[in-house]
Chains A and B, each alone.
Chain A
């Protein structure tokens, strides 16, 4: 049995083109072949989670059944009651598998949880979002089949972008007009080729050609600068890794968005020139956008309201600061329970809080210069702060300080 990892090699794209073609013809003529789409989705899921990855496949099936019980159960309950503790427990139950998967390697060093599979965190985002929107009343009905389509939408199953249920449902039901669909197809082709450049040329160059060499040199200098390992090579590593991270992930996201477009679903974009950001807040509006927007809508905003409603914090300016801290801490834990992901989260929280102070200061002092030079400086500073955070994120410091022999 063959196994194909999403967008990892040319064969995957050939499969994609061949299987999507009938669906595309249908969409071109204003029809969505639902049965056909279901069948090819099944085939792709089988290719991704079959063969040597069959354990993951079983874990996925178990996970889906579990989320159906949790989300469906909450939907049934919500019809006649609306207790907060039920809502909180349902959200906790929904997150639980992910928590187990993330905690397992931290507790039993290096062990991967048996219930884990590729993309579990992205499916969790989708499930939790369902429960939260049901609580809000924005999602009123639990439609099991549409929920399954939403969760298992194969172009985005492994690493997002994280779509929203109502948006997805709308696109699925409402076939785009021919004119609009052609626009989407044109965009998709452009994205796929841009993705090739990003992931297979630039990402490969930075990640596979450059990075191992630089890592080796940096490790050999690990006694440098009073045993901190700070060397020129480490700085090189920082920038190279940042480039790799961006091009690899942005390339993947382009593929995922393109495949969705071909299927008539306008999955949101994940990146918008993140290195042009003028401050950290701006950065999070451009980097891994579907994730940061998810965190904004379902953690940051809710937490801010919660604090205000219950008057937990007196001083108004402290409220967003606390919310940022919690928000990014959770994001850190979500990446994995290791010191460097958590420090990465805290670092961004710190950066965004400092940035808030600066913006407030700037507002009070309108005489401060603002021209293209200061903007350039802002971009430069933001870029370097971000790259430094990626160095933390990369885990290389962990290797350098605690693991390298």
Chain B
């Protein structure tokens, strides 16, 4: 009898704790709303946790935030970053920055998956870098870094038997992260083969979805990030009133001061940290063989376009240039860059995506680029001149005409348009 009491006193609390934990994660709990401050922090956090999640993005997008998809350029919080400009000049929109080093089309495609009802009929900005279009496309490790089981499950549950979804399933299965869970991998195999997922898979996935969603909601309350402070610091440098000539002068001035230690127009800190000393010698003519014209990324990008079309999203695309002096130094082929640009634009325009700000030829503009391939002071201002009217003025309902030929190997490898 005594032993039995002892047993209860040992395992009773464990059983209660386990029960509570199961309840916590399996009940569809709402967990309240996030404060405005949390929204603000999340919008500029660029944290994988935010990218992988759902709840905070949903709430922010309902409250006037607009997704800005991109990659490493978003993480430069200098004075003219779109997040800084929008906050300073009290625009009717606030950018929700989605993307950091290594995030490409495939990551963005999955980020969108549980934001359907927030994106339908809305506007977004999409910064598409030629550097994504490498021979092997999305790097599996970078994809894994942003991989979200929740988004993947949401996607699987709604997947249909069509070329886009079959392609996406195949792509995921090529990534180690897509195979990290057995249930997910099995369901993906089904979708890739054009079969529907089994009822058992669906039940397991639904249970997991609830659990992951609760986890996301719970932990999204904890935003620890220093980027918001950077944004607020940068705001102080800007003039009180928006005036293009004044901002141009400021951009020139700040850019001039910040690129004083090298001949390439690269920000001093970037130059010292990444390029100084022997690195520079090693980089001379190091990019002569770079080629962005053939890449699986073209089809990954097509996934994103298909999704935009399904939800009638209006998209402002921005194609950033490459710092011309840097390209010359590293021997990057400009004809190749132009052909890449043509190919991307062709894919966009053939399907009715007509808001494209192509900056490819601006790589030689002074203080346009902050370093090698990232938009900087005047570059962001130029982008803002397209972004601001696009987001603040009424746009006609887009008419898209999605073509599945962009999912083919033939398109990925073609160097001749038409």
B274–A182 CB distance below 8 A: no
Instruction: Say if the beta carbon of A178 comes within 8 Å of chain B.
Output: yes
Which positions 358-396 of chain A face chain B at CB distance < 8 Å?
Answer: none
Please give the distance in Å from B108's CB to the nearest CB on chain A.
23
Task: Given A182-B7, A220-B273, A405-B274, check contact A2 B182 (CB 8 Å).
Answer: yes
- State the Cβ distance, B44 to closest chain A Cβ, in Å: 16
Nearest CB in chain A: distance from B159 CB, A? 25
A220 CB to nearest B CB, Å: 6
Instruction: Kindly identify which residue among A182, A209, A220, A223 contacts B6, using a CB–CB cutoff of 8 Å.
Output: A182
- B1-44, CB under 8 A of A: which get 1 and which 0? 00100110111001000000000000000000000000000000
Question: Per a CB cutoff under 8 Å, which of A178, A189, A220 touches B11?
Answer: A189
- Min CB distance B360 to A, Å, is 28
Count of B interface residues, CB-CB < 8 Å: 13
Q: Does B410 sit at the interface, judged by CB under 8 A?
A: no
Dominant SS at the A interface? Answer: helix
- Contact in complex: A405, B6 (CB < 8 Å): no
Number of A residues, CB within 8 Å of B: 12
The A-B contact count (CB < 8 A) is 20
Q: How far is the CB of B303 from chain A (nearest CB, A)?
A: 29
Residue B90, interface by CB 8 Å? no
Which one of A182, A189, A209, A223 lies within 8 Å of B14 (CB-CB)? A189
Q: Does B393 reach chain A (CB closer than 8 Å)? A: no
- Of B6, B182, B272, which one neighbours A186 at CB under 8 angstroms? B6
Q: Which residue of A lies closest to B7 (CB)?
A: A182
- Residue of A182, A220, A223 with highest tally of chain B CB at under 10 A: A182
B10 near A185: Cβ-Cβ < 8 Å: yes
Alpha-carbon gap, A28 to B11, bound state (A): 14
The verdict on B199 contacting chain A, using a C-beta distance below 8 Å, is no
Are A189 and B10 closer than 8 Å at their CB atoms? yes
Residue of B nearest to A219 (CB): B273
Q: Give B269-292 interface residues, CB cut-off 8 Å to A.
A: 272-274, 279
Q: Which residues of B contact A28 (CB under 8 A)?
A: 3
- Residue-wise, chain A 5-31 has the 8 Å CB interface mask toward B (1 for contact) of 000000000000000000000001000
Residues of B239-275 whose CB lies within 8 A of A: 272-274
Complex alpha-carbon distance, A178 and B7, angstroms: 11
Hey, which chain B residues are within 8 Å of A223, CB to CB? 272
Select one of A178, A189, A209 contacting B3, CB under 8 A.
Answer: A178
Q: Are A182 and B10 closer than 8 Å at their CB atoms?
A: yes
Residue in B closest to A182 when the chains form the complex, CB atoms: B6
Residues in A185-227 with C-beta less than 8 Å from chain B: 185-186, 189, 209, 220, 223
Give the CA-CA distance A153 to B297 in the complex, in Å: 49
Give bound CA distance, A189 to B11, whole Å: 8
A186 and B10 in contact (CB under 8 A), knowing A2-B182, A405-B279? yes
Q: Which residue of B lies closest to A210 (CB)?
A: B224
Closest to B14 in A: A189
A30 to chain B, nearest CB (A): 12
B182 contacts across to A, CB distance below 8 A: 2
Q: A148-191, CB under 8 A of B: which get 1 and which 0?
A: 00000000000000000000000000000011001001100100
Residues of B near A179 (CB, < 8 A) are 3
Instruction: Give, as a whole number of angstroms, the nearest-CB distance from A57 to chain B.
Output: 20
Give the residues in chain B near A185, CB-CB below 8 Å. 10
- A28 vs B9: C-alpha distance when bound (angstroms): 15
Q: Which residue of B lies closest to A222 (CB)?
A: B273
A residues in contact with B279, CB < 8 Å: 405
> Is the beta-carbon distance between A182 and B11 smaller than 8 angstroms?
no
- Min CB distance, B414 to chain A, in Å? 36
With CB as the reference atom, state the residue of chain B lying closest to A213.
B226
CB distance from B153 to the nearest CB of A (A): 17
Residues of A within 8 A of B6 (CB): 182, 186
When distances are taken between beta carbons in the complex, the residues of chain B under 8 Å from A209 are: 224
Residues of A within 8 A of B272 (CB): 223
Quote the shortest CB–CB distance from A383 to chain B (angstroms): 26
Cβ contact within 8 Å between A182 and B3: yes
Chain B residues contacting A186 (CB-CB under 8 Å) are: 6, 9-10
A2 to B3: give the CA distance in the assembly, Å.
38
CB distance from B45 to the nearest CB of A (A): 12
Kindly state the separation between the CA atoms of A186 and B279 in the bound complex, as whole angstroms: 59
The CA of A179 and the CA of B3, in the complex, are separated in Å by 7
Expressed in whole angstroms, the Cα–Cα distance for A178 and B182 within the complex equals: 41
What mask results when residues 89 to 102 of chain A are scored 1 for a CB within 8 Å of chain B, else 0? Answer: 00000000000000
Give the shortest distance, in Å, between B61 (CB) and chain A (any CB).
Answer: 26
Please, which residues of chain B bring their CB within 8 A of the CB of A189? 10-11, 14
3 A-B pairs with least C-beta separation? A186-B10, A182-B6, A189-B10
Q: Can you offer 6 A-B residue contacts whose CB atoms are under 8 A?
A: A182-B3, A182-B6, A186-B6, A189-B14, A209-B224, A223-B272
Other 5 A-B pairs with CB < 8 A, given A182-B10, A189-B10: A182-B3, A186-B9, A189-B14, A220-B273, A223-B272
